[in-house]
Amino acid sequence: MNPELYPLGLRIAGRLVVVLGGGPVAARRTRSLVLAGAHVRVVAPEICEDLAALVAPLPDGAARPDGSGAAGTVAWEARSYRSGDLEGAWLVHTATGSPEVDADVAAEAEALRVFCVSAGDASGTAWVPAVARVTVADDTTSATSAPSTEVVVAVNAGRDPRRAQRVRDAIDALLATGELPLRPVRPGAGGSGSVALVGGGPGDPGLVTARGRRLLAQAEVVVTDRLGPRALLDELADDVVVIDVGKTPGFHPVPQEEINALLVEHALAGRRVVRLKGGDPYVFGRGGEELIACEEHGIPVEVVPGVTSAVSVPAAVGIPVTHRGWSRGFTVLTGHEDIGKVPAASDHTVVLLMGVSRLRDSAAALMASGRSPETPVAVVEDGYGPRQRSTVGTLATIADVASAAGVRAPAVTVIGDVVRVSPAWRAAGLG
């Protein structure tokens, strides 16, 4: 640790900052200053294209090419540095490319008691860190509106900018995925909270989206399913309220209406609520019902898609739901629906969710509607879980084979020629 370095954040909106130099380094510095709302005076005989884009006058209300608004301003004086250029400045950046000129600028800044960032670093009195930023919704901001708070991590690494950038990038990745805590802990001002319907995928915590993990890191209440990525719950802070509403076949301890009411209750109390669901919220996840319930109470809702088990679980055991020459489409149903109405064509895959208990009836219905009894079938248990297993057979045999193997939920059933691609089918020697 450098004992001479005192880390500090500066609020420079509306204040004058002088930038000496017109190259790419000066352009990067100026862009950041404009985003922070500073009034920047650039002094350089010539300027690069990126810096010229910041200097160019804009129509009222127009956005700059880098996406910044008009809060900060940039003025360019097309000449070399001369004594007196730093008068009135709150901060100075010098990147002229000349060590002698940069040293003169730093000396004038020292005399004026103005902090100076020098690209050469040797004569500067301030350093620009590598910065990672992530925006976080506060207590009164919806998940879909512009957040009002920002987490900023600044990294200094002993005047080694490349090392600082590498550390910054690692931190930035953890912030983006929600693996670092982002939830505000300062008491909020009340008001309406928000609900995020997060698709957690088939259960493996590595298959949830980065957006879903970030929302979990900000959550105050998590309402979770049995088949979601429950390992992620272990990463939550102790004061996060976790409500388990998981269902098992034939046993629904918390009816859907009560789940809807829980989401509404906590959001209206001003809390950030995540409804963590297995698979995708809109693929037999009843996410649409939860969305409507929240919107009826004026609660802002964000829907984060997830990897549906209908596609991912077959993939886990080497089964594609479509395959050139074998399957041109697929239908996803639950085992409780009338599957006799799906296309009987041999090039159409059928995927059944929650269908273990009715496997015999489903196979019979498909054969009655025209499917060949020799149609390949695979039942994939606990996809991506510790007891993942694939049991294969045909429509005529799968019910007996699964019963003998002790197949149990959760499981996904795949029916169609695509099953022939799987290692389990080849290992069974079924042709």
350-391: pLDDT as tens digits = 999 988 989 999 999 999 999 999 999 999 999 998 899 999
Letter string b/e over residues 149-180, b meaning 16 or more CB atoms within 10 A of that residue's CB: eeeebbbbbeeebeebbebbeebbebbebbbb
Q: Domain 311-428, what architecture? A: 2-Layer Sandwich (3.30)
Whether 70 has a pLDDT exceeding 50, the answer reads: no
Q: Please tell me the least confidently modeled range out of 106-110, 245-249, 274-278.
A: 245-249
pLDDT tens digits for range 16-26? 999 999 999 99
**Domain map (residue ranges) of the chain:** 1-128, 194-308, 311-428
Q: Tell whether the model's pLDDT for residue 310 goes beyond 90.
A: yes
SS3 call for 24: helix
Residue predicted with more confidence, 138 or 121: 121
CATH superfamily of the 1-128 domain: NAD(P)-binding Rossmann-like Domain (3.40.50.720)
Q: What is the DSSP string of 203-263?
A: S-GGGS-HHHHHHHHH-SEEEE-SSS-GGGGGGS-TTSEEEE---BTTB-SS-HHHHHHHH
Give the pTM.
0.66
Q: What is the pLDDT of residue 64?
A: 43
Active site residues: 225, 247
For residues 69 and 425, give the distance between their C-alpha atoms in angstroms, rounded to a whole number: 60
- Give residue 147's pLDDT band: very low, low, confident or very high (50, 70, 90): very low
Beta carbons of 117 and 153 less than 8 angstroms apart: no
Q: According to CATH, what is the number of the domain 194-308? A: 3.40.1010.10
Amino acid at 101: V
**What pLDDT is stored for residue 133 in this prediction?**
77
Question: Which of the residue ranges 185-189, 258-262, 282-286, 352-356 has the most confident prediction, judged by mean pLDDT?
Answer: 258-262
- Rounded to whole angstroms, the Cα distance separating 78 from 75 reads 10
Dihedral of the alpha carbons of 36, 37, 38, 40, in degrees to the nearest 10: 100
Joined tokens for residue 190: 């009340």
